[in-house]
């Protein structure tokens, strides 16, 4: 914009060129000169001029011929012919056909010369300003486009030549997302197919085939193998467009791996929910059925007036069964309530000094009437004087869950419970000789609603161990399992004896 415009004067007479320079030296443009048509054409091929002052009568190549050569080279600079001879209309037409915009006759009127050249120079400057502004607008648009493209953090913007599948543009995010640098994308044909998961190559190939067959755009999901060998999901949209006369495919490939993981997690959650509802319905109905039968039996006897005739031991037995079913139902409901409290973060523990051996015996006594295991099959190895600051109700809940599982899966075989003190921790181990747990299930069973066996064979909602681990965590303790299929299981609860520094403990 700060470069002065240039006017070219072509004349074979040096004195004429000298006169033009003197006449135009104080104008707002620079005048350069050429002594022949050929020399003038060479100047025009090297630099842009605002106007040309061209003498008509020159040897070898006259003004008309020079003008025709200028136009033949695609140069459209305005030409003012200068001549000393006034000719007729045909002469003027010849000049205009050669590209002239005006004629000046010698002797020159310098004021008219300066005015006409100034108009052409001004038009040239305005044209150049428009062109520069247009270029800047294009550059600005390109910068905005690049900023937009590079501002997509989890998407790759790309274009490829439709005829051969060669990528001619890939955004810089390609390397961050896929691990492959842009040069890899542009070095191979149909690179997107090459890096697709083997099971999805057909999907990508079919989509590109549809574009080649005339489809305007395609939209699909597929997996890609990153440069490091890991797998990711992408959602790709491709449209067909035209660039410089050639068809190209314009694509946007988004990384949707996290979305797919969330989607899979939701599916699994729905399956778990449906399974839990089924199990919970069964588990809550199980104690209700015998309880209802007992109540109906009492109602029939009372209606006939025969209730007083029942032997006391029969009444006590029936009431005992009913109480056991009520207790079981109460435990199932409490487990569901515990899950809600744990999820809401509302569970706390109230620690006080407790005789842990007495706590274990109390938990065992709750199963005294259980017909699955005999009294002589209990083996208790309890160290005395093991006292610690724990929440007795919560720890009893854990012990009951562990013992209940040992009875349920222990096949009626002896159950061994050990209590010992070890390095400032109390360790309670519950061992059964039952069905055992496969190694791949030993961590999963501590998750919510998870079970290592079919609910059709063993009752339970898959909550006991989950709740037990949460309680152990609140005590900054650990609950673990060692087991082999068909050899039994050993669940170990390890608790610090002093909870003075444990967060969330109420005293």
Question: Is residue 465 in a domain?
Answer: yes
**Which residues, in sequence order, are bridge partners of residue 225?**
231
Compute the distance between CA of residue 259 and CA of residue 257 in angstroms, rounded to an integer: 5
* Digit-coded pLDDT (tens) for 407-448: 888 888 888 999 998 888 899 999 999 888 888 888 888 887
Do 189 and 279 share a structural domain?
no
**Which residues, in sequence order, are bridge partners of residue 231?**
225
Do 128 and 162 share a structural domain?
no
Compute the distance between CA of residue 507 and CA of residue 505 in angstroms, rounded to an integer: 6
Of 81, 103, 134, which marks where a domain is finished?
134
Query: Closest by alpha carbon to 238, among 222, 218, 220, 256?
Result: 218
Question: Is residue 11 in a domain?
Answer: yes
Question: Is residue 141 in a domain?
Answer: no
Compute the distance between CA of residue 253 and CA of residue 234 in angstroms, rounded to an integer: 6
CA angle 491, 494, 496 (to 5 degrees): 170
Do 500 and 385 share a structural domain?
yes
CATH number at residue 167: 3.30.450.20
Strand order from edge to edge, sheet including 488-496: 378-382, 415-422, 425-432, 488-496, 478-484
Q: Torsions phi, psi of 165, nearest 5? A: 75, 15
Do 270 and 319 share a structural domain?
yes
Residue 280 or residue 204, greater confidence: 204
Question: Is residue 392 in a domain?
Answer: yes
- The pLDDT confidence band at residue 507, using thresholds 50, 70 and 90, is very low
Task: Give percent helix, percent strand, percent coil of the chain, each to the nearest 5.
Answer: 50, 25, 30
Compute the distance between CA of residue 472 and CA of residue 491 in angstroms, rounded to an integer: 13
Sequence-ordered strand ranges (E) for 77-128: 79-83, 100-105
Do 20 and 76 share a structural domain?
yes
Do 322 and 244 share a structural domain?
no
Compute the distance between CA of residue 442 and CA of residue 449 in angstroms, rounded to an integer: 14
Strands 349-350 and 505-506: parallel
* Digit-coded pLDDT (tens) for 462-474: 677 888 888 888 8
Compute the distance between CA of residue 193 and CA of residue 143 in angstroms, rounded to an integer: 30
Do 298 and 208 share a structural domain?
no
Do 500 and 353 share a structural domain?
yes
Of 293, 324, 340, which marks where a domain is finished?
340
Do 379 and 308 share a structural domain?
no
Compute the distance between CA of residue 104 and CA of residue 78 in angstroms, rounded to an integer: 14
Question: Is residue 389 in a domain?
Answer: yes
CA-CA-CA-CA torsion sign (422, 425, 428, 429): negative
Label residues 292-305 b or e (16+ Cβ within 10 Å = b).
Answer: eebeeebeeeeeee
Do 318 and 295 share a structural domain?
yes
* Digit-coded pLDDT (tens) for 359-391: 998 888 877 766 677 777 788 888 888 888 888
Number of domains making up the chain: 4
Sequence-ordered strand ranges (E) for 204-280: 217-225, 231-243, 246-255
CATH number at residue 29: 3.40.50.2300
Round the average pLDDT of the chain to a whole number and report it. 82
Query: Closest by alpha carbon to 66, among 88, 91, 99?
Result: 99
Question: Is residue 145 in a domain?
Answer: no
- CB-side neighbour CA atoms (13 Å) of 103: 20
Question: Is residue 93 in a domain?
Answer: yes
Compute the distance between CA of residue 5 and CA of residue 28 in angstroms, rounded to an integer: 8
DSSP state of 373: S
Residue 411 or residue 92, greater confidence: 411
Q: Give the structural domain span for 79.
A: 6-134
Residue 99 has pLDDT above 80, yes or no: no
Do 50 and 23 share a structural domain?
yes
* Digit-coded pLDDT (tens) for 152-169: 778 888 888 888 888 888
Of 106, 134, 162, which marks where a domain is finished?
134
pLDDT number for residue 401: 85
First to last CA, the chain: 82
Do 179 and 53 share a structural domain?
no
Question: Is residue 139 in a domain?
Answer: no
């Amino acid at each position: 914009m700060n470069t002065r415009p240039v006017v070219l004067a072509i004349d074979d007479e040096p004195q004429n060129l000298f006169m033009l320079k003197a006449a135009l030296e104080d104008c707002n443009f620079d005048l350069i000169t050429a002594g022949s048509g050929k020399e003038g054409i060479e100047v025009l091929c090297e630099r842009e001029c605002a106007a040309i002052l061209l003498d008509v009568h020159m040897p070898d190549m006259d003004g008309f011929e020079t003008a025709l050569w200028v136009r033949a080279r695609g140069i459209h600079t305005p030409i003012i012919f200068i001549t000393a001879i006034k000719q007729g209309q045909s002469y003027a037409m010849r000049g205009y056909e050669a590209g002239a915009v005006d004629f000046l006759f010698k002797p020159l009127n310098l004021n008219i010369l300066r005015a006409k050249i100034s108009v052409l120079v001004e038009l040239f400057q305005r044209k150049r300003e428009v062109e520069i502004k247009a270029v800047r607008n294009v550059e600005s648009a390109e910068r905005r486009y690049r900023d937009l493209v590079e501002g997509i953090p989890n998407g790759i913007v790309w274009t490829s030549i439709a005829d051969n599948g060669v990528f001619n543009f890939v955004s810089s995010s390609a390397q961050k997302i896929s691990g492959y640098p842009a040069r890899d994308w542009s070095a191979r044909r149909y690179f997107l197919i090459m890096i697709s998961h083997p099971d999805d190559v057909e999907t990508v190939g079919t989509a590109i085939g549809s574009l080649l067959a005339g489809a305007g755009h395609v939209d699909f999901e597929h997996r890609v193998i990153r440069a490091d060998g890991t797998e990711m999901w992408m959602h790709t949209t491709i449209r067909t467009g035209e660039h410089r006369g050639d068809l190209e495919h314009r694509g946007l490939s988004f990384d949707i791996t996290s979305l797919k993981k969330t989607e899979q997690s939701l599916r699994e959650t729905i399956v778990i929910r449906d399974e839990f509802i089924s199990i919970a319905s069964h588990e809550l109905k199980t104690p209700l059925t015998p309880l209802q039968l007992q109540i109906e039996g009492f109602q029939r006897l009372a209606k006939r007036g025969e209730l007083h005739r029942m032997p006391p031991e029969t009444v006590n037995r029936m009431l005992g069964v009913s109480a056991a079913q009520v207790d079981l139902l109460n435990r199932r409901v409490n487990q569901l309530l515990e899950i809600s409290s744990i999820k809401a973060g509302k569970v706390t523990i109230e620690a006080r000094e407790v005789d842990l051996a007495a706590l274990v015996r109390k938990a065992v006594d709750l199963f005294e009437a259980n017909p699955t295991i005999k009294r002589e099959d209990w083996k208790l190895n309890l160290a005395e004087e093991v006292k610690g600051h724990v929440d007795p109700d919560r720890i009893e809940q854990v012990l009951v869950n562990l013992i209940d599982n040992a009875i349920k899966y222990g096949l009626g075989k002896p159950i061994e419970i050990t209590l010992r003190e070890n390095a400032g921790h109390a360790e309670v181990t519950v061992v059964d000789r039952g069905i055992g747990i496969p190694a791949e299930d030993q961590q999963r069973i501590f998750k919510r609603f998870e079970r290592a066996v079919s609910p059709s064979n063993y009752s339970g909602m898959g909550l006991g161990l989950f709740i037990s681990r949460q309680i152990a965590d609140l005590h900054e303790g650990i609950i673990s399992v060692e087991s082999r299929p068909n050899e039994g299981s050993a669940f170990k609860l390890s608790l610090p004896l002093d909870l003075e520094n444990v967060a969330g403990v109420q005293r």
